[in-house]
Structure 1
Amino acid sequence: MLFDLTDLRLFIHIAESGSLTRAAERMHLSLGAASNRVKELESRFGMRLLYRENKGVQLSPAGEALLIHAQQFMQQLERMKSDMQQFSSGIKGHIRIFANTTAVTEFMPQVLGSFLARHPQVNVALEERLNADIVRGVAEGTADIGIAAGPVQGQGLEIINFSTDRLVLVTPREHALAGSGRIAFADTLAYAHVGLHEGSSLWHFLSRIVSQSGQRLELRIRVRSFEAMCLMIEADVGIGILPQSAALRHSQTMGLALVELDDPWAVRERSIVVQSLDALPHYARELVEEIRAGQAPRAISPDRNA
């Protein structure tokens, strides 16, 4: 074997501290023993992993690559330990899901509420991620199931389209744009917007659209949830782009108007991403089917724009 767990932990500590001495201390190794371990690693891989300098050490390009794999390996090991501990306490299954903002906040709570009630011995970890991170997580095995919106590409992955995700403009009821039947996103940029936080998949998507158009979006305020966006819009802080499902739900209790966007990208395919559907445990396959069955496109009712 090219390395053991002590080698990997030592290498990670070296990268984090930039010092072989401090890394050796954290591992309770002598400096000589730590140095020998690194030299043996370099000998086994047949390449230099560290550049030793007066002020410490720097990773070589090969060392940078090894660090990424070492961190992923140790993270996977910790997850394995956690899973095994859960089994000992009665948990018989665990599903990790990476999903976009809309999935996390709009339909997965209902889906998981029903699913987990029927499967009390299954645990689910649901994390909000950007599309690229969702696909990467499934490809690398850090997520069992991914839920993304828009174009998804993943070589060797199964991509299952299960519904559409329509983005709409949301305004106060008395706003100048509230009576518009349909509107182009570019025509909304003359007004101040309310947006989601920078880490959200929706904000990342809209930022790319604005950047590609060469225009500028005036962002009045950034908030953490669709509900907060709608409250700000109702208070006339600005207008905003939201998923239709969230906009319809909050328009039932707030003074909001919904306007369809005329841009082709406003209607996006929702996709479930897995390495192999057949390879998933039976309870994970059941969850995928429940997600697929529970989603259907909805139209904007005419009275929502009144």
Structure 2
Amino acid sequence: MRIDPYSLELFISVVREGSIARAASRNHIAPSALSRRIADLESAVGLPLLIRSHGGVELTEAGRQAYARATALHDQLQSFAREVQSVSGQIAGIVRLYANASAIVGFLPERLKAFQADYPLVQIELTEQISDEVVRACMEDRADVGVSACGKTPAGLESWHFADDPLMVVLPPDHELVSMAAPTFHDVLRFPLVALQAGGSLDQVVKERADAMRVPLKLAVTVNSFDAQCRMVEAGLGIGIVPASAASAFAGSSGFVRKPLDEAWAMSRSLHVHALRKSSRLRAVQALIDALTRTQA
């Protein structure tokens, strides 16, 4: 029985994506070739690992065991490669970076480009997740570095300031609130909202603040990305609360008006870099932390 690491990596990707087609797209491989790899893996272990349907895939009982072992083996191989590379005299290897959407949209592209120029032998594996999952991945050592909007640092993690990213209100040009220099949250709650993905840090903050004021939210629609949120606002379905980074990236056209949200908790919102507290770190990981936390000119 011969099982190669690449097939295990593809199997893990299929499970996480819930679809062979999506996993194939993420890994830049033809779906038929990926499906063949999974079939070969099932043949090697002598058991079916996936239940396939038009809606996607799910794990068999044997598949659950295989996924757990494959994930552990993949992590061990990644650690093996990174540790060998770290003692080669050069800063090289793979760094697992998890970040929330506003960090990816507003700040990371330029900073990662500068980092790549300084450390061309370091490969960044970037994964987008909501802030709570970013912190969880760091705690479980699935991520070497994380960037999130979580304000509290759990025991066992180190955190550093990354960027200020206050909240803004995105409005259609003809909206009633356009005449105000800086609407308050109470002003905003009078109108239907285009909300962002349930469970994210922004979604939690908005719901907690509305509950504290005992004012019900009027949700027009909920979407899963900042660009979709801004498009819904542009179409007139409601107004949105977004980080300044997203407002700059997606609401820069004449179809939007951006206003500061006049609340202390909104203006003080910031992003932080996280890493598991360790006595020492791989040189590539420390280099990325230093690059992300360096004061920007």
- Compute the TM-score of the two structures, normalised by the length of structure 1: 0.64
Q: Deviation digits for residues 225-271 of structure 1, max 9, x if unmatched?
A: 22222222122221000111221333432321122212221021321
List alignment gaps of at least 5 residues for structure 2. Answer: 1-44, 48-63, 86-90
Aligned to 1:268: 269
| In 1, Cα distance between equivalents of 2:130 and 2:226 | 16
Aligned to 2:285: 284
Residue 79 of structure 1 is aligned with which of 75, 80, 85? 75
Aligned to 2:21: none
| In 2, Cα distance between equivalents of 1:204 and 1:232 | 20
List alignment gaps of at least 5 residues for structure 1. Answer: 1-26, 30-66, 297-306
Residues 167 and 277 of structure 1, relative CA distance in 2, 3 Å threshold: farther
Kindly name which structure, 1 or 2, has the bigger radius of gyration based on alpha carbons. Answer: 1
| In 1, Cα distance between equivalents of 2:293 and 2:269 | 15
Matches within 5 A, 1:213-232: 213-232=213-232
Asked if the contact 1:231–1:254 (Cα under 8 Å) also holds between the matched residues in 2, the reply is no
| In 1, Cα distance between equivalents of 2:273 and 2:196 | 23
Aligned to 1:130: 130
Following superposition, the deviation at residue 170 of structure 1 comes to 0.9
Aligned to 1:116: 116
- The code of the aligned residue for 1:139 comes to M
- The code of the aligned residue for 2:201 comes to S
Asked if the contact 2:194–2:238 (Cα under 8 Å) also holds between the matched residues in 1, the reply is yes
Q: Deviation digits for residues 27-55 of structure 1, max 9, x if unmatched?
A: 889xxxxxxxxxxxxxxxxxxxxxxxxxx
Residues 173 and 278 of structure 1, relative CA distance in 2, 3 Å threshold: farther
* Alignment RMSD: 3.3
| In 2, Cα distance between equivalents of 1:132 and 1:77 | 25
Following superposition, the deviation at residue 128 of structure 1 comes to 2.6
The count of aligned residue pairs is 231
- Compute the TM-score of the two structures, normalised by the length of structure 2: 0.66
Following superposition, the deviation at residue 166 of structure 1 comes to 0.1
| In 2, Cα distance between equivalents of 1:214 and 1:157 | 34
| In 1, Cα distance between equivalents of 2:170 and 2:180 | 11
| In 2, Cα distance between equivalents of 1:185 and 1:170 | 13
Give percent identity, aligned residues only: 31
| In 1, Cα distance between equivalents of 2:275 and 2:137 | 10
Asked if the contact 2:81–2:93 (Cα under 8 Å) also holds between the matched residues in 1, the reply is no
Following superposition, the deviation at residue 136 of structure 1 comes to 2.6
Asked if the contact 2:157–2:277 (Cα under 8 Å) also holds between the matched residues in 1, the reply is yes
Residues 275 and 225 of structure 1, relative CA distance in 2, 3 Å threshold: same
Following superposition, the deviation at residue 150 of structure 1 comes to 4.3
Asked if the contact 2:185–2:262 (Cα under 8 Å) also holds between the matched residues in 1, the reply is yes
Residues 251 and 130 of structure 1, relative CA distance in 2, 3 Å threshold: closer
